């Protein structure tokens, strides 16, 4: 029988006060995961309330999955868990029409503020610079400029520095790709690579199939190139839904597909190899190019580097885009594209856009990849992100409304949080800003205004300040969800 939460006169039951106090101690860390809390009798003595009141409170704590009763032993604190987003079922009745992208001024204003350094950085997709080897890179930048004074001050070729392309070609082996340095074009970051790819394979008015939810910068690029979008649902575990894509290819004039294959932004999922192969073969059958964003590929928590879809490309139709922005230095603007049969077009567009990628940063990144201990650095970065992601998930479990569900990222640094329907992410974002907290609201990640109850959070930085911000955000979400009872909402979220 469910416990009554309020007395007839509206006042809380005494046992709720006990629930509140114990929950507060658990969430504050006084009782840690796996520890036994005092027995019912001991607690009744300490709090000077009846044994029955404590028994009712413990039953409620069990309902809340904060503790579990173990026969003959007592009550133990459970780990904080938050439900994972379930798999999406393929649904061929999804709206697969080609739509215009219109990102309004309000959305652009939100996007501009997401990485405001004055705010608690819960919204950013950028790496935490403190975790990057910037000292070593900057030293290499200076040393390389000294070693190649003329080259570093000259225009490079549109294709990019040869030493760098050799290093990238070696690294690509770990993604299952055998690519010669001549097949690689260096770009100013991954976004330039994707936008060159869109320009090379599409003409204004064409439709591009893209995952949903998706990194908003791609929607922005699609809008500014005068393209339309066909949104394909992304499964939180397996990535782009290939069955729906197959259906879409039959019913909409799709000219290209964009997919973030490894550690997707915002869902963090990896497309399994069999799906990558299916995707590449499906598109090859119709001669449709795949623009693959693999910028997070080196950031898997398990340590092993997943294959790139490019590894399955036999027709030269995969344009693989990536950069060192997430692993070394976003400010260096060093990325690349392996464009297959579109390489000549890409290089012509690159030359037209900015002639070439700046030489000094190419030299420095090449040298770092050759001698700087990139693999060692990656091991430490992955480990840190893995730990911080667990801390972020645990904090969301403690502070957000009970029906909240989250993604299960296998790598990268972002977490997708789906709150109860009543929570409006745009309002939550506005309220969070007033408290100096940045959070990326779900509607930014789609053209149709969906995901109104979702936010993307960043695990790239973890500190007491960030943890406090998650608690405050959870409290705001609880209020918005109408969770006014401690018996249904985490205790310290209510008081944060």
* Residues in contact with ligand PLP by the rule CB under 6 A: 125, 189-191, 215, 260, 265, 293, 295, 323, 325, 330, 335
Please give the residue whose beta carbon sits closest to ligand PLP in the complex: 189
**Given the complex with ligand PLP, which of 306 and 474 has the nearer CB atom?**
306
Q: Which is nearer to ligand PLP, 125 or 300 (CB)?
A: 125
- Least distance (Å) from ligand PLP to the CB of residue 269? 12
CA–CA distance, 437 with 468 (Å, rounded to integer): 10
Task: For the CB of residue 334, give the shortest distance to ligand PLP in the complex, in Å.
Answer: 8
> Rounded to the nearest whole angstrom, what is the least distance from the CB of residue 335 to ligand PLP in the complex?
5
- Please state, in angstroms and rounded to a whole number, the distance separating the CA atoms of residues 167 and 374: 11
- The nearer residue to ligand PLP, 126 or 426, going by C-beta atoms, is 126
In the complex, the smallest distance separating the C-beta of residue 22 from ligand PLP, rounded to whole angstroms, is 41
- Choice between 169 and 265, CB closer to ligand PLP: 265
How many Å apart are CA 139 and CA 125, to the nearest integer? 26
Q: Could you please report the per-residue DSSP string of 161-188?
A: -HHHHHHHHHHHGGGT----GGGEEEES
Query: Judged by CB, which is closer to ligand PLP: 211, or 474?
Result: 211
**Closer residue to ligand PLP in complex, CB, 125/158:** 125
Write the CA distances from 287 to 273, 282, 315, 493, integer angstroms: 21, 9, 9, 53
Smallest distance from the beta carbon of 318 to ligand PLP, in angstroms?
Answer: 16
Which strand (E) or helix (H) includes residue 456? strand 454-458
> Using an 8 Å Cβ cutoff, are 216 and 103 in contact?
yes
Q: Is the Cβ of residue 227 or residue 334 nearer to ligand PLP in the bound state?
A: 334
Computed from CA positions of residues 232, 238, 243, 249, in that sequence, does the dihedral angle turn out positive or negative? Answer: positive
Our CB check for ligand PLP shows the closer of 323 and 407 to be: 323
Supply the minimum distance, in Å, between the C-beta of residue 300 and ligand PLP.
15
The span from the CA of 376 to the CA of 385, in Å, is 15
21: Cα separation from own chain's centroid: 34
Minimum CB distance to ligand PLP, residue 204 (Å): 23
> From the CA atom positions of the chain, what is the Rg in Å?
25
Query: CB 260 → ligand PLP: shortest distance, Å?
Result: 5
- Of 418, 487, 484, the C-alpha closest to 457 is 418
Both tokens assigned to 250:
């039959």
Q: How far apart are CA 409 and CA 235, in angstroms?
A: 12
Instruction: Name the E strands within 71-136.
Output: 74-77, 83-84, 99-100, 120-121
Considering beta carbons, is residue 330 or 442 the nearer one to ligand PLP?
330
Residue 323 Cβ vs ligand PLP, minimum distance, rounded to whole Å: 3
Q: For the sheet with 454-458, list strands across it.
A: 83-84, 405-406, 414-418, 454-458, 440-441
Question: Interhelix angle for 162-172 vs 359-371, to 10°?
Answer: 40
Residue 343 or 361: the one with the smaller Cβ distance to ligand PLP is: 361
- Report in angstroms how near the CB of residue 201 gets to ligand PLP at its nearest: 17
Which runs of consecutive H residues, i.e. helices, occur in 355-435?
359-371, 374-399, 425-434
CA 495 to chain centre: 28
Give one DSSP letter per residue of 51-66, joined into a string. Answer: HHHHHHHHHHHHHTTS
């Amino acid at each position: 029988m469910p416990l009554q939460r309020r007395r007839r006169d509206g006042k809380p039951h005494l046992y709720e006060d006990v629930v509140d106090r114990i929950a507060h101690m658990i969430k504050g860390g006084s009782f840690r995961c796996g520890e036994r809390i005092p027995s019912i009798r001991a607690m009744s003595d300490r709090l000077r309330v009846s044994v029955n009141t404590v028994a009712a409170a413990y039953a409620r704590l069990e309902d809340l999955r904060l503790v579990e009763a173990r026969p003959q032993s007592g009550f133990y604190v459970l780990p904080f868990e938050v439900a994972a987003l379930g798999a999406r079922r393929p649904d061929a009745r999804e709206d697969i029409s080609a739509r215009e992208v219109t990102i309004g001024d309000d959305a652009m204003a939100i996007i501009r503020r997401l990485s405001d350094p004055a705010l608690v950085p819960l919204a950013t997709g950028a790496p935490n610079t403190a975790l990057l080897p910037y000292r070593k890179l900057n030293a290499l930048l200076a040393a390389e400029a000294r070693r190649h004074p003329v080259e570093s001050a000259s225009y490079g070729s549109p294709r990019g520095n040869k030493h760098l392309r050799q290093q990238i070609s070696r690294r690509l082996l770990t993604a299952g790709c055998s690519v010669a340095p001549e097949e690689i074009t260096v770009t100013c970051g991954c976004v330039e690579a994707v936008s060159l790819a869109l320009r090379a394979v599409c003409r204004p008015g064409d439709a591009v199939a893209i995952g949903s939810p998706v990194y908003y910068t791609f929607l922005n690029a699609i809008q500014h190139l005068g393209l339309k979008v066909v949104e394909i649902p992304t499964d939180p575990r397996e990535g782009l839904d290939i069955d729906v894509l197959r259906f879409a290819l039959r019913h909409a004039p799709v000219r290209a597909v964009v997919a973030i294959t490894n550690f997707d932004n915002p869902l963090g999922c990896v497309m399994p190899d069999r799906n990558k192969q299916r995707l590449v073969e499906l598109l090859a059958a119709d001669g449709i190019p795949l623009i693959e964003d693999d910028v997070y590929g080196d950031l898997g928590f398990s340590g092993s580097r997943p294959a790139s879809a490019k590894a399955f490309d036999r027709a030269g139709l995969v344009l693989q885009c990536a950069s060192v922005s997430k692993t070394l230095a976003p400010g260096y603007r060093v990325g690349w594209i392996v464009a297959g049969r579109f390489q000549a077009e890409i290089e012509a567009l690159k030359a037209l856009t900015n002639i070439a990628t700046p030489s000094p940063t190419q030299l420095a990144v090449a040298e770092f990849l050759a001698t700087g201990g990139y693999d060692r650095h990656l091991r430490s970065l992955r480990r840190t992100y893995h730990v911080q992601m667990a801390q972020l998930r645990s904090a969301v479990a403690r502070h957000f409304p009970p029906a909240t569900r989250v993604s299960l990222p296998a790598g990268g640094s972002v977490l997708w949080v789906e709150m109860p329907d009543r929570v409006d992410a745009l309002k939550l974002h506005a309220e969070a800003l007033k408290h100096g907290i940045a959070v990326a609201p779900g509607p930014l990640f789609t053209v149709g205004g969906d995901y109104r109850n979702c936010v993307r959070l960043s695990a790239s930085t973890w500190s007491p300040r960030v943890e406090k911000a998650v608690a405050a955000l959870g409290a705001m979400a609880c209020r918005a969800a109408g969770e006014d009872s401690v018996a249904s909402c985490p205790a310290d979220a209510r008081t944060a």
